[in-house]
């Protein structure tokens, strides 16, 4: 990533895109507790927000965790402070995608595999994972 | 009736002699307002015969200056230009009274909060201060020398609620020699403390420390206890309240009953016991607990077979004393008291609101109070820790903190204060009783205020209780185990815990019947839902309504220690009231000119204090001075100008406005 923005502005951009206030989080861990992929998401939701609170935004943007979020919304639904991590993850993905980053490169998909995958999944997948 | 009358002639003929005293208030006023200029201008206001200034008028030398000037210049009005009247109006009124001038001929011109503190430009501030002084002088010339009339104080207290708070308040007041009426809605006393097994941090048994207090209360000649009774209506005012109390039908004559308990064994009708958090059943004729005091049962008409469908008479048949009275009725009593203390306590948050934690849905998920009942010898499991579903001893117990607390979206925004400590206590006791068992506490913080509390928490961890930092998100069952989804934020991971039993530390909310009563009495309820104290730091046991005091958890979550402290404090306030034979309120009350009043009732509709009502016989409005708060709303609402607000007269305000606009 070579966009020359300072980290403070980047965090503000994440807050603006997601309409969430990072400082509201009091690190209770409830989001991680309810996340269906919480065991494999790295960083899991509460630690992801902690990274943002500490200004370590690039670590989060470069992580695998933000791409694993299925937007099931349990995190935001259960949060005692009303912070919706699913939206924050979405904002992080948007920043990456707008900079032409692709989590999944269409060119790397092998033809044989495509016969198993429904068309709708392709469309959704490209929208979510390809810049 | 007030002994003051509205001046009907223009005070200015003959001339008032007003003294103006400008306070520097250090640099608070002098830093922004040009004091010498203000004094000069004040001296030119019509009616002013003396104008002076001083560094701190509220100080002894400052007050001396005012007193000396009153004597020297024969002042008949005093205006002190200083801070807000909330701070020193009383001070300066006392000063004037000491100099022989009626205190209500002293007015405050607020040139600090309303001028110096909010104006940047010095010239603007001086101009504004000078206007404020001039208009206050004008209004003061229409002040009358009011005299406060005293209302007698009935030295008898009503205490609503006989938990530990109500008991402590009653003891303190009765021990000082006054009569107390202690009203409790349940059939026996002790409140939630009688449900608790052990207390933190000493682990003294709840009953052990509560029973001596209960016995002292029951034996006290000054305390008249009315159980199974509720306050229905209160009218009147501080020093003279008329209270209507409903004594609910017990269907058992408490005088004849010996408390043998045969009726309870004979009764066929059962229902869930709220005392045991629905973990056990009780009969229709019941005591809350075998050790309840007074130990006289009552019949619950909702559950009783005879009262619902006319069958059965088992209790009456078996009673050797003929104490069962099926034809019993509610009784209404009217009592007069001078002070009322609300000690209506708390309840746990509704289970529906915390359903996601599994209570009411997943077997063997109980709340903290339920766990206390399991530990209690008179509880559902005779004091053994056994889970509700199959009676087995749980080998893995997960304690969940912050259930419904600290969460405005799924419960209440505040912290319930006692759960960290009682969870540590319950987990510690579990480890003592089931040493091979696993106890895990899921927490966000561990709050341990007070003596011995942090040390106690450490003891809990040393006994083997595991603390995992994460808020629980899901509780469900698979086969024979309960699964708890939580997190370990310190390790940065999601965790899944298995449990045989889950104990929830549910949020505390104020007791519903207490809140209903407060609403009816127009006692303020705070944003948190608890009854509101007059000031959160400096007046924690009074309410904004004179004569009503608060004690215990009805005012906010707190432990037994804090409850006892607050209860004694509330009693002290009541005793301060009872130390006076007459109560003198401010005489700046409403006054109705009966010759002008047409009885339209607008004032009655406007008054928030029920202090002015149209008398049905006289057909004009009459003010009850003791209830009047001196707000002036009625005077504003009166279409014919019959109601005036003493020393806040229309003529005074018109004169004030004229001074400003000229």
Question: Per-residue pLDDT averaged across B273-285, rounded?
Answer: 96
- Residue % of chain B over a pLDDT of 90: 93
Q: What band does A113 get if pLDDT is binned at 50, 70 and 90?
A: low
Question: Per-residue pLDDT averaged across B350-358, rounded?
Answer: 95
Strands B438-443 and B396-403: parallel
Residue in A with minimal Cα distance to B356: A78
Q: B199 to chain A, minimum CA–CA distance in Å? A: 28
Is it the case that residue B562 has pLDDT exceeding 70?
yes
Question: Per-residue pLDDT averaged across B49-76, rounded?
Answer: 95
- Among B21, B77, B13, B19, residue whose Cα is nearest residue B49: B19
pLDDT tens digits along B583-592: 988 899 999 9
Is it the case that residue B351 has pLDDT exceeding 50?
yes
DSSP state of B115: I
- Among B204, B205, B203, B225, residue whose Cα is nearest residue B214: B225
Residue B12 backbone class (left: φ over 0; alpha: ψ -120 to 50; beta: rest):
alpha
Q: CB distance B474–A34 less than 8 Å?
A: yes
- The CATH number for B349-509, chosen from 3.40.50.970, 3.90.550.10, 3.50.50.60, 3.90.550.50, is 3.50.50.60
Question: Per-residue pLDDT averaged across B291-313, rounded?
Answer: 95
Q: What band does B11 get if pLDDT is binned at 50, 70 and 90?
A: very low
Q: CB distance B409–A30 less than 8 Å?
A: no
- Residue % of chain B over a pLDDT of 70: 98
Contacts of B177 (CB under 8 A, 6+ apart): B222
**Which pLDDT value is given to residue B14?**
59
Question: Per-residue pLDDT averaged across A6-28, rounded?
Answer: 93
Q: Which residues of A touch B412 (CB under 8 A)?
A: none
Q: Residue ranges of the domains in chain B?
A: 18-140, 156-242+336-345+513-578, 262-318, 349-509, 590-645
Q: Model ipTM?
A: 0.89
Q: Which residues of B touch A43 (CB under 8 A)?
A: 492
Question: Per-residue pLDDT averaged across B611-620, rounded?
Answer: 94
Same fold, B349-509 and B590-645: no
Is it the case that residue A4 has pLDDT exceeding 70?
no
Average pLDDT score, chain B: 95
Full strand arrangement of the beta sheet holding B474-478: B474-478, B481-488, B493-499
Q: B618 to chain A, minimum CA–CA distance in Å? A: 59
Class level of CATH domain B156-242+336-345+513-578: alpha beta
Question: Per-residue pLDDT averaged across A39-64, rounded?
Answer: 96
Closest residue to A32, CB basis, from B408, B410, B494: B494
Closest residue to A33, CB basis, from B409, B411, B473: B473
Closest residue to A34, CB basis, from B402, B411, B485: B485
Residue whose pair of structure tokens reads 């903190």 in the numeric block: B401
- Among B85, B76, B32, B40, residue whose Cα is nearest residue B58: B85
Give the whole-angstrom CA distance, residue B641 versus residue B645: 10
Q: What is the pTM of this model?
A: 0.87
Is it the case that residue B340 has pLDDT exceeding 70?
yes
Q: CB distance A32–B493 less than 8 Å?
A: yes
Q: What band does B10 get if pLDDT is binned at 50, 70 and 90?
A: very low
Q: Which residues of A touch B469 (CB under 8 A)?
A: 29
Give the whole-angstrom CA distance, residue B125 versus residue B128: 5
Beta-ladder partners of B271: B282
Class level of CATH domain B590-645: alpha beta
Question: Per-residue pLDDT averaged across B557-583, rounded?
Answer: 97
Cα dist from B258 to B187, B252, B261, whole Å: 15, 11, 8
Contacts of A81 (CB under 8 A, 6+ apart): A24, A25, A26, A28, B407
pLDDT tens digits along B435-469: 999 999 999 999 999 999 999 999 999 999 999 99
Q: Which residues of A touch B402 (CB under 8 A)?
A: 28, 80
Is it the case that residue B9 has pLDDT exceeding 50?
no
Cα dist from B183 to B192, B210, B261, B516, whole Å: 16, 18, 24, 16
Give the whole-angstrom CA distance, residue B487 versus residue B497: 10
User: Is residue B151 within 8 Å of B237, Cβ to Cβ?
Assistant: yes
Q: CB distance A33–B474 less than 8 Å?
A: yes
Is it the case that residue B7 has pLDDT exceeding 60?
no
Q: CB distance A34–B408 less than 8 Å?
A: no
Residue whose pair of structure tokens reads 């402590």 in the numeric block: B168
Is it the case that residue B613 has pLDDT exceeding 90?
yes
Q: Is the peptide bond before A83 cis (omega within 30 degrees of 0)?
A: no
Question: Per-residue pLDDT averaged across B42-52, rounded?
Answer: 94
Half-sphere exposure of residue B642: CA atoms within 13 angstroms, side-chain side: 22
- Among B518, B565, B569, residue whose Cα is nearest residue B545: B518
- Among B538, B416, B492, B513, residue whose Cα is nearest residue B184: B513
Give the whole-angstrom CA distance, residue B124 versus residue B115: 9
Give the whole-angstrom CA distance, residue A118 versus residue B488: 38
pLDDT tens digits along B157-206: 999 999 999 999 999 999 999 999 999 999 999 999 999 999 999 999 99
User: Is residue B612 within 8 Å of B622, Cβ to Cβ?
Assistant: yes
DSSP state of B333: E
Q: Residue ranges of the domains in chain A?
A: 7-99, 103-131
Give the whole-angstrom CA distance, residue B600 versus residue B596: 11
Q: Is the peptide bond before B294 cis (omega within 30 degrees of 0)?
A: yes
Is it the case that residue A114 has pLDDT exceeding 70?
no
**Which pLDDT value is given to residue A116?**
77
- In terms of CATH architecture, what is B18-140? 3-Layer(aba) Sandwich (3.40)
**Which pLDDT value is given to residue B453?**
97
């Amino acid at each position: 990533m070579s966009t020359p923005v300072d980290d403070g502005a980047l965090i503000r951009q994440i807050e603006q895109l997601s309409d969430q206030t990072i400082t509201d989080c009091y690190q209770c861990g409830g989001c991680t507790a309810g996340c269906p992929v919480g065991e494999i998401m790295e960083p899991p939701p509460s630690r992801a927000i902690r990274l943002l609170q500490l200004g370590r935004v690039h670590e989060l943007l470069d992580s695998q965790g933000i791409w694993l979020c299925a937007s099931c919304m349990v995190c935001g639904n259960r949060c005692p402070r009303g912070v919706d991590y699913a939206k924050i993850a979405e904002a992080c993905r948007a920043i990456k995608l707008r900079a032409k980053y692709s989590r999944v490169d269409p060119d790397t998909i092998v033809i044989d595999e495509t016969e198993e995958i429904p068309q709708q999944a392709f469309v959704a997948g490209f929208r979510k994972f390809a810049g | 009736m007030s002994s003051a009358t509205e001046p009907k002639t223009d005070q200015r003929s003959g001339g008032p002699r007003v003294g103006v005293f400008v306070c520097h208030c250090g640099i608070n006023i002098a830093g922004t307002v040009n004091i010498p200029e203000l004094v000069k201008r004040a001296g030119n206001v019509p009616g002013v015969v003396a104008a002076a200034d001083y560094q701190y008028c509220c100080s002894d030398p400052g007050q001396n200056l005012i007193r000396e000037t009153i004597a020297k210049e024969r002042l008949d009005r005093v205006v002190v230009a200083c801070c807000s009247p909330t701070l020193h109006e009383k001070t300066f009124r006392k000063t004037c009274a000491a100099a022989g001038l009626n205190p209500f001929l002293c007015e405050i011109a607020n040139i600090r909060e309303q001028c110096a503190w909010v104006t940047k430009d010095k010239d603007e501030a001086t101009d504004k201060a000078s206007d404020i002084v001039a208009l206050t002088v004008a209004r003061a010339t229409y002040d009358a020398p009011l005299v406060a009339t005293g209302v007698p104080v009935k030295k008898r207290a009503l205490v609503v609620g006989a938990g530990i708070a109500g008991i402590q308040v009653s003891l303190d007041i009765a021990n000082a020699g006054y009569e107390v009426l202690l009203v409790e809605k349940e059939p026996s006393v002790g409140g939630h403390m009688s449900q608790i097994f052990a207390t933190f941090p000493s682990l003294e048994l709840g009953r052990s420390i509560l029973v001596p207090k209960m016995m002292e209360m029951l034996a006290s000649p000054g305390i008249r206890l009315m159980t199974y009774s509720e306050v229905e209506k209160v009218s009147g005012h501080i020093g003279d309240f008329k209270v209507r109390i409903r004594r609910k039908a017990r269907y058992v004559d408490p005088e004849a009953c010996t408390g043998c308990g045969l009726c309870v064994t004979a009764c066929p009708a059962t229902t869930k016991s709220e005392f045991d958090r629905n973990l056990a059943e009780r009969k229709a004729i019941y005591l809350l607990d075998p050790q309840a005091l007074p130990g006289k049962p009552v019949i619950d008409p909702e559950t009783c077979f005879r009262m619902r469908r006319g069958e059965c008479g088992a209790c009456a048949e078996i009673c050797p004393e003929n104490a069962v009275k099926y034809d019993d009725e509610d009784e209404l009593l009217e009592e007069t008291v001078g002070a009322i203390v609300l000690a209506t306590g708390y309840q746990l948050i509704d289970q529906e609101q915390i359903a996601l934690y599994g209570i009411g849905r997943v077997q063997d998920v109980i709340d903290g109070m339920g766990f206390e009942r399991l530990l209690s010898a008179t509880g559902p499991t005779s004091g053994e820790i056994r889970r509700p579903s199959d009676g087995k001893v749980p080998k893995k117990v997960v304690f969940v903190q912050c259930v419904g607390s600290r969460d405005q979206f799924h419960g209440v925004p505040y912290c319930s204060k006692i759960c960290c400590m009682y969870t540590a206590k319950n987990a510690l006791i579990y480890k003592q009783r089931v040493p091979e068992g696993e106890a895990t506490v899921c927490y966000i913080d561990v709050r341990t205020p007070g003596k011995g509390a942090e040390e106690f928490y450490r003891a809990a961890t040393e006994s083997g209780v595991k603390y995992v930092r994460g808020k629980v998100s899901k509780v469900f069952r698979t086969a024979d185990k309960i699964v708890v989804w939580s997190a370990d934020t310190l390790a940065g991971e999601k965790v899944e815990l298995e449990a045989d039993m889950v104990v929830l530390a549910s949020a505390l909310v104020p007791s519903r019947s207490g809140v209903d009563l407060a609403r009816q009495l127009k006692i303020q309820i705070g944003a948190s839902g608890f009854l509101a104290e007059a000031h959160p730091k400096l007046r924690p046991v009074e309410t904004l309504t004179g004569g009503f005091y608060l004690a215990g958890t009805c005012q906010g979550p707190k432990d037994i220690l804090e409850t006892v402290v607050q209860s004694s404090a509330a009693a002290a306030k009541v005793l301060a009231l009872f130390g006076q034979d007459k109560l003198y309120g401010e005489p700046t009350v409403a006054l109705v000119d009966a010759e002008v009043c047409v009885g339209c009732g607008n004032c009655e509709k406007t008054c928030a204090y029920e202090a002015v009502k149209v008398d049905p016989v006289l057909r004009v409005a009459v003010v009850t001075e003791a209830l009047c708060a001196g707000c002036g709303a009625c005077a504003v609402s009166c279409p014919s100008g019959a109601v005036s607000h003493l020393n806040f007269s229309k003529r005074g305000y018109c004169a004030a406005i004229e001074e400003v606009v000229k």
